[in-house]
């Protein structure tokens, strides 16, 4: 008998292989960048001793790396069509405006989290309180303006995915941090500070959007 592999099976294998490549490259790049950032600032600012600052920095770097990879893909379309979740180079060029908008928003969120993790607050930080506060206000204003300006960008599927992901992220955050808050109130867990809560909710949104995209088949389509 002759073993015949259908085109659909080969295509599915290629899509899964590309997804694995995206995950591996992202994980290695993220781990390396986080390790390098920690080593860079550890001498002047022991951020590893503060779990909340460390969490905010880690999540902020993830958002920044996503923004950089998407921005790279929109500029260098040939390698970008392999790294990003698109069928081919022509689709990447067609979706370039939406991808660029997404990269900008991810970059702003990452910068806000990273700046917050380095700013002097209840504990000393690498940035002074006035400088950090000014940067955070500017970042939040840019995020609000960008969100309003881009509210109608993307197709109906993109908008539905955004709404569903936001709802799921809120449910996850309510269950996780609400449960943690009850445990903290009863004395069974440490309190979560504002920065830790912000980092956790931002991470939940990433989890939610990956889950919803996977459920829709977008990660292997």
Containing domain of residue 21, as a range?
Answer: 7-153
Cα separations (Å) of 109 from 31, 60, 65, 139, 157? 19, 7, 11, 8, 23
Split into its structural domains, the chain has a count of 2
**Which pLDDT band, with edges at 50, 70 and 90, does 141 fall under?**
very high
Are 147 and 160 contained in the same domain? no
* CA atoms lying within 13 Å on the CB side of residue 162: 14
Farthest-apart Cα atoms in the chain, separation: 75
Are 138 and 93 contained in the same domain? yes
Question: What is the Cα 123 distance to its own chain's centre?
Answer: 26
Instruction: Tell me how far apart the alpha carbons of residues 17 and 29 are, in angstroms, rounded to a whole number.
Output: 18
Alpha helix segments (H runs only) across 43-128: 51-75, 77-83, 89-94, 96-118
pLDDT for the residue numbered 41 = 65
pLDDT for the residue numbered 199 = 93
Q: Does pLDDT of 21 surpass 80? A: no
Closest CA to 22 of 84, 90, 95, 96: 84
**What is the tens place of the pLDDT at every residue in 167-188?**
999 999 999 999 999 999 999 9
**Which pLDDT band, with edges at 50, 70 and 90, does 197 fall under?**
very high
Are 133 and 64 contained in the same domain? yes
* CA atoms lying within 13 Å on the CB side of residue 109: 23
Site of tokens 């912000």: 198
Backbone angles phi, psi at 119, to 5 degrees: -90, 140
Neighbours of 47 (CB within 10 A): 20
Are 34 and 18 contained in the same domain? yes
pLDDT for the residue numbered 150 = 83
Go through the chain and tell me how many residues it has.
221
Query: What's the whole-number mean pLDDT along residues 207-221?
Result: 74
Q: Is residue 138 part of a domain?
A: yes
Are 122 and 162 contained in the same domain? no
**What is the tens place of the pLDDT at every residue in 51-101?**
888 889 889 988 998 888 888 888 776 766 666 666 667 777 777 788 888
pTM over 0.85: no
By mean pLDDT, which of 70-74, 102-106, 121-125, 148-152 is the weakest? 121-125
Instruction: Return the structure tokens found at 147.
Output: 């969100």
Are 69 and 104 contained in the same domain? yes
Q: Is residue 122 part of a domain?
A: yes
């Amino acid at each position: 008998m002759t073993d015949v592999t259908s085109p659909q099976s080969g295509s599915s294998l290629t899509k899964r292989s590309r997804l694995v490549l995206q995950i591996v490259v992202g994980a290695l790049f993220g781990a390396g960048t986080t390790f390098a950032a920690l080593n860079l600032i550890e001498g002047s600012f022991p951020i590893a001793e503060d779990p909340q600052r460390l969490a905010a920095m880690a999540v902020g770097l993830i958002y920044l790396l996503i923004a950089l990879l998407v921005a790279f893909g929109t500029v260098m379309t040939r390698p970008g069509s392999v790294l990003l979740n698109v069928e081919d180079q022509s689709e990447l060029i067609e979706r370039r405006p939406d991808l660029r908008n997404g990269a900008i928003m991810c970059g702003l969120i990452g910068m806000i989290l990273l700046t917050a993790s380095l700013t002097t607050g209840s504990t000393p930080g690498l940035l002074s309180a006035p400088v950090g506060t000014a940067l955070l206000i500017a970042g939040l204003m840019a995020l609000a303006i960008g969100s309003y300006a881009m509210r109608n960008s993307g197709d109906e599927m993109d908008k539905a995915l955004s709404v569903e992901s936001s709802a799921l992220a809120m449910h996850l955050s309510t269950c996780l941090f609400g449960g943690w808050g009850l445990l903290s109130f009863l004395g069974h867990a440490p309190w979560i500070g504002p920065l830790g809560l912000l980092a956790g909710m931002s991470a939940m949104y990433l989890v939610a959007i990956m889950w919803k995209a996977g459920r829709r088949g977008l990660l292997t389509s």
